[in-house]
Amino acid sequence: MPAILKVERPVAGEFAPYYGRYIERITTDDALPVLESQIEETHRALRALTDKRALHRYATGKWSVKEVVQHLTDAERVFTYRALRFARNDSAELPGFDENLWAPASFADRRPIEELADEYRAVRAATVALYRSFEPDWLVRRGVASGHVMSVRALAWVCAGHENHHREILRERYDLA
């Protein structure tokens, strides 16, 4: 039986300083249970929204709730793609992405919030399954993305913290639970 994987907190040098703000949002010593617990918690909160409420923008030019949800899903796909490449010892440098170009191009506002919530849940479940497939020593493997070194484990912490960051914005600026 394989050992239970623990995705320990990354150390300086395993991530770009910019991502430290996401990693700091996680107060436990293992990112994997956080990633797992966020699945149903976030899904349930999103499914409780009406489409009208999910079109809300807290200011002109800001993303709608639906665009925030699509951004979470898109960013997680990018982060886990990077984790997969680095876990497999792929040394090719990976490009960044511009979320401010992606958000309007996603046409998230045309989709039902239930569909966006279900997509989020599927992507997060895939993230957890991917990490559960990794050998413990793969978690410290590194690669370069957006011009910065990132470890496989740092990307798990970034996924969890990035979600917490946007959930906080949804609470504070969009008045959502």
Instruction: Give 1's pLDDT tier (boundaries 50, 70, 90).
Output: very low
pLDDT of residue 124: 98
Q: Which two tokens stand for residue 161?
A: 């913290």
Query: What pLDDT digit, counting tens, does each position of 97-127 carry?
Result: 999 999 999 999 999 999 999 999 999 999 9
pLDDT higher than threshold 60 for residue 2? no
Average of per-residue pLDDT values in the chain: 96
Q: What is the pTM of this model?
A: 0.95
Q: What are the residues whose beta carbons fall under 8 Å from the beta carbon of 94, sequence distance 6 or more?
A: 81, 82, 85, 143, 144, 145, 146
* Per-position DSSP letters for the chain, written without gaps between them: -PPPP--PPP-TTSS-GGGHHHHTT--SS-HHHHHHHHHHHHHHHHHTS-HHHHT--SSTTSPPHHHHHHHHHHHHHHHHHHHHHHHTT--PPBP---HHHHHHHTTGGGS-HHHHHHHHHHHHHHHHHHHHHS-GGGGG-EEEETTEEEEHHHHHHHHHHHHHHHHHHHHHHH---
pLDDT higher than threshold 90 for residue 177? no
Q: Which two tokens stand for residue 34?
A: 């956080």
Query: What pLDDT digit, counting tens, does each position of 147-172 carry?
Result: 999 999 999 999 999 999 999 999 99
Q: Do the Cβ atoms of 113 and 66 come closer than 8 Å? A: yes
Query: What pLDDT digit, counting tens, does each position of 57-94 carry?
Result: 999 999 999 999 999 999 999 999 999 999 999 999 99
**Spatial separation of the C-alpha atoms in residues 61 and 12, rounded to whole Å:** 35
Instruction: Give 3's pLDDT tier (boundaries 50, 70, 90).
Output: low
pLDDT of residue 132: 97
pLDDT of residue 8: 98
Task: Please give the C-alpha separations between residue 116 and each of 66, 102, 113, 123, in angstroms, as whole numbers.
Answer: 7, 15, 5, 11
Q: Which domains does the chain have, with CATH numbers?
A: 32-174 (1.20.120.450)
